[in-house]
Homo-oligomer: A and B are copies of this chain.
Amino acid sequence: MMIDELENGSLGPYQDRPRTFPNMRSKAYTPWVFRVLMGINVRVLFVLLLLAFAAVFYVGASTSPIVVFVLSICIISFLFSIYLTKWVLSKDEGPPEMVQISDAIRDGAEGFFRTQYGTISKMAFLLALVILCIYLFRSTTPQQESSSLGRFTSAYITVAAFLLGALCSGIAGYVGMWVSVRANVRVSSAARRSAREALQIAVRAGGFSAMVVVGMAVIGIAILYATFYVWLEVDSPGAMKVTDLPLLLVGYGFGASFVALFAQLGGGIYTKAADVGADLVGKVEQGIPEDDPRNPAVIADLVGDNVGDCAARGADLFESIAAEIISAMILGGSMAQRCKIEGKVLTNPSGFILFPLVVHSFDLVISSVGVLSIRGTRDSGAKASVEDPMAILQKGYSVTIVLAVLTFGLSTRWLLYTEQAPSAWFNFALCGLVGIITAYAFVLITKYYTDYKHEPVRTLALASSTGHGTNIIAGVSLGLESTALPVLVISVAIISAYWLGQTSGLVDETGNPTGGLFGTAVATMGMLSTAAYVLTMDMFGPIADNAGGIVEMSQQPESVREITDLLDAVGNTTKATTKGFAIGSAALASFLLFSAYMDEVATFAHEPFKQVDIAIPEVFIGGLLGSMLIFLFSAWSCSAVGRTAQEVVNEVRRQFIERPGIMDYKEKPDYGRCVAIVASASLKEMIKPGALAIVSPIAVGFLFRILGHYTGHPLLGAKVVAAMLMFATVSGILMALFLNTAGGAWDNAKKYIETGALGGKGSDCHKAAVTGDTVGDPFKDTAGPSLHVLIKMLATITLVMAPIFL
């Protein structure tokens, strides 16, 4: 729809038009939900809202006091995030030329968002229908039948959870973008006054979406959990056990992953196609700086930052947190069950199940403290004293980490203490510490490989001085090499957390230690226990980037640009570290979801399913196909960017030739045309890799189930899918690390040269570095982050679709 508007409405020459930037608002499209809501009186709405909250609290209270605690904290965080928005929106938008640019960015971003999420929601409904059919025709276990969880109930529950997950993921993405398109101009305006104030606005805007994203993941799961608990009369005689409840939440995780995958793919293709296209003609061929108003692709590039980095990353992190909370709940439940049956170690299993929700509630609190610790009042008005923004952010992070260690210890003592294993909580607290240290190690490693203060990026920059070819070879090698340390860290983390869990004193009915896997889950929790602050730092990046673009385009004085450039550089580093953080937690979460999958299959197959034996040819092939899926997915997402970027390059070149006055500021470039090209191309291009990710595990599982049926191998489909999942996870982790780090390093090698090293801007060395940067763009912002989502989605899709393979 937006595409039509763009193509029909804004492609004429600019001279004839009153507005400077393409008007993409002409036909304001408001979804009917909003129209209905806006029709209702505000007071009625407020009363309805209060009633809804009361209902939620009532249901929560009849489940467990822990749920009430979690709900309360989430609501307080939402109120806090509203305060943050009000604070950000109260800042001035600067001079009209800035507002004009910001409006163009906002319109482009919101237009694309609407169209993209329209497509995604259609696909989500289609998939929901498929899931419904599968569950209506599945076979159920006698256990389930007895606990009134029949075919129909489980079908509706799964579909409802899926749709809720998809909706929340969508909202998370929207919120991320909503605030960034409003904060960007306020940051650039504040940069005219003070670096510190600009930093503060960007951080608080990022903090707002981080609070909403994390809070929504937590509250969604808490509400689902409480509702199912009350609805299914859990723990009443003959009904379902509370320890089985978390498995019903998997649909939520799948819904979240599904939307996040397409959001990341679509947004990633959009932002990087525009970026690469703009850079290749603007920087390399014409020699004009980044975000120069003469570049016809510059608005598309700035729009891309919002839809790709803000909206997609919001959905991505939402999905990470949801997947990881659910997997930890499942493991907590199954461990509690094992310990209770005969050993009678655990008196109240809810503590083990609800532990992840509490950890993230504390996460919201401590991250708020971290965000508030970054204050702008001190040097407001004094433009000269530019501190290192990284140091300020780092200080906030340190505050958050210290608090995280404390609250994590508190949570373990509160929820994981049992009389029979009195020291177990301490072991689990140590697991949490392992997770926090792992997160920190990931941040350090990512920094080492992507920051130009260190050896690797300097070597890469030096390789640019001998040409484009050696730059690419050095970057690829750097990226491939950078997989080693994170893998070693993850290995040590998994083994030590497993060992701490195993020796915690929790034993199953036969007296075997059984806490190992839960220990790994707690470590994952620990790793993500500062997620909201990390997400804040991540969101900060694209907002600062956009602010820089607006400053550049509105041709502000050099000093203002220096401030936004500084913020932008810091944003690059925080973006890279978030990715390290995301992939580390994805690695741990997938390992947990894999165990959940094994449990699920065992339940359905009425036989133990403990092993995935890769010495069986079919299983080996499953692994081969899993790894291949990662390669193919990366190929398709990179080539989507490449193809779209080529269209942009051709369009930009055409405009420079047809309107020779652009270079002397005599003619206005046609920004709208580039926006239209990337928007329509990225919507088209996101389908193929996305469909591959969803269809292939289902197809492989189904095919091998049939093959197993005819060759007399029971459970062959499930085994092959398990191997596929495991190999895809391993390859996915490595590939994502490679793509993210290589991309980040190329970007910063270019930035290093732009500081004046090795010939500085405009030299041949710089040109080679720009080539590396453009290659790195789809690596680090399209394929890499999509892989994070993909490996978790593979885990949740196999869990949800397990009935097909059995």
Contact = CB atoms under 8 A, between A and B. Distances in A.
A498 to B, nearest CB: 5
B646 A469 contact: no
A642 B730 contact: no
Contact of A473 (B284, B491, B638): B638
A474 interface: yes
Interface string A627-646: 11001101110110110011
B598 A628 contact: no
Contact of A638 (B480, B498, B517, B638): B480
B473 A628 contact: no
A594 B623 contact: no
A463 B632 contact: no
Contacts of A650: 466
A498 B625 contact: no
B620 A726 contact: yes
Contacts of A494: 617, 620-621
Contact of A476 (B470, B517, B638, B730): B638
Nearest to A487: B628
A643 B773 CA distance: 20
Nearest to A633: B480
Contacts of A276: 469-470, 473
Interface string A562-605: 00000000000000000000000000000100110010000000
Contact of A617 (B284, B481, B498): B498
A276 to B, nearest CB: 6
A615 interface: yes
Interface string A715-732: 000000011001100110
Contacts of A476: 635, 638, 775
Contact of A466 (B481, B628, B649): B649
A612 interface: yes
Contacts of A591: 617, 620
B483 A628 contact: yes
A491 B631 contact: no
B628 A734 contact: yes
Interface in A427-454: none
B484 A639 contact: no
Contacts of A595: 615
A624 B491 contact: yes
Contact of A472 (B463, B483, B625, B771): B771
Contacts of A770: 469
A473 B639 contact: yes
A613 interface: yes
A639 B477 contact: yes
A249 to B, nearest CB: 22
Contacts of A617: 494-495, 498, 516-517, 520, 591
Interface of A: 276, 279-280, 284-285, 462-463, 466-470, 472-474, 476-481, 483-484, 487, 490-491, 494-495, 498-499, 516-517, 520, 591, 594-595, 598, 610-615, 617-618, 620-621, 623-625, 627-628, 631-632, 634-636, 638-639, 641-642, 645-646, 649-650, 707, 711, 722-723, 726-727, 730-731, 733-734, 738, 770-771, 773-775, 778
26 contacts: A280-B466, A280-B469, A284-B467, A285-B467, A462-B646, A467-B771, A467-B774, A469-B645, A470-B642, A473-B639, A474-B642, A478-B635, A481-B635, A484-B631, A487-B624, A487-B628, A491-B621, A491-B624, A591-B617, A594-B615, A611-B613, A624-B730, A627-B730, A628-B734, A631-B738, A731-B731
